[in-house]
């Protein structure tokens, strides 16, 4: 009995150690890892929803699928544009929610390109730097974690809309 308990304990420590070894190291690596995960889910969600369903909304009082995607694009362009120092007039333009799927997805990809630059430029040394976002100032780490958090919230909405249309969301495919 003692041998099997000891064996289980050793196996558990080895499994946990392996899991810890795979985890990203440091604040920058952690936020970049989280960003890449939610980015993949959002882009796959945008692709999975049929073009004709971009106008879908479950009930009259909520946003359409296209509006949710556009909201992600707008938020990312604003926050990542601020991190990159990109003037607002130089940022990609987000189409109206009545635009076709291709236009909405093109804007989404442009917003991810802006964020890719911002997340790639992060170093531990600059995480606490303050940047101007809108009318206020925020730390870089606050902006990037805020972006990841917001993207996760919006992905949950996209996933729900997909499920309501009978489509499995990307995070359920894994």
Q: Which helix (H) or strand (E) holds 32?
A: helix 27-48
Confidence of residue 43 (pLDDT cuts 50, 70, 90): very high
**What are the backbone angles phi and psi of residue 59, rounded to the nearest 5°?**
-140, 160
Q: Which residues, in sequence order, are bridge partners of residue 136?
A: 133
**What are the backbone angles phi and psi of residue 163, rounded to the nearest 5°?**
-60, -40
Confidence of residue 14 (pLDDT cuts 50, 70, 90): very low
Walk me through the domains of the chain, giving residue ranges and CATH numbers: 26-172 (1.20.120.450)
Say if residues 83 and 18 touch (Cβ distance below 8 Å): no
Out of 1-10, 15-24, 29-38, 85-94, least confident range: 1-10
Q: Look at residue 135 and tell me whether its pLDDT is greater than 60.
A: yes
The pTM for the full model equals 0.85
- Tally the residues of the chain: 174
Confidence of residue 6 (pLDDT cuts 50, 70, 90): very low
**Cα three-residue angle 49-52-55, rounded to 5 degrees:** 85
Local structure of 50: helix, strand or coil = coil
């Amino acid at each position: 009995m003692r041998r099997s308990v000891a064996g289980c304990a050793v196996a558990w420590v080895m499994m946990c150690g392996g899991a810890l070894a795979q985890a990203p190291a440091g604040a920058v690596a952690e936020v970049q890892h989280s960003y890449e995960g939610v980015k993949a889910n959002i882009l796959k969600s945008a692709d999975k929803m049929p073009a004709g369903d971009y106008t879908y909304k479950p009930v009259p009082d909520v946003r359409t699928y296209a509006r949710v995607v556009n909201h992600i694009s707008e938020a990312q362009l604003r926050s990542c544009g601020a991190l990159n120092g990109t003037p607002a007039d130089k940022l990609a333009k987000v189409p109206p929610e009545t635009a076709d799927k291709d236009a909405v997805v093109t804007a989404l990809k442009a917003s991810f390109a802006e964020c890719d630059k911002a997340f790639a430029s992060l170093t531990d040394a600059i995480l606490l730097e303050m940047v101007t976002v809108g009318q206020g100032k925020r730390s870089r780490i606050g902006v990037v974690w805020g972006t990841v958090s917001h993207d996760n919230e919006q992905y949950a909405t996209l996933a729900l809309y997909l499920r309501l249309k009978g489509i499995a969301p990307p995070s359920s495919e894994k």
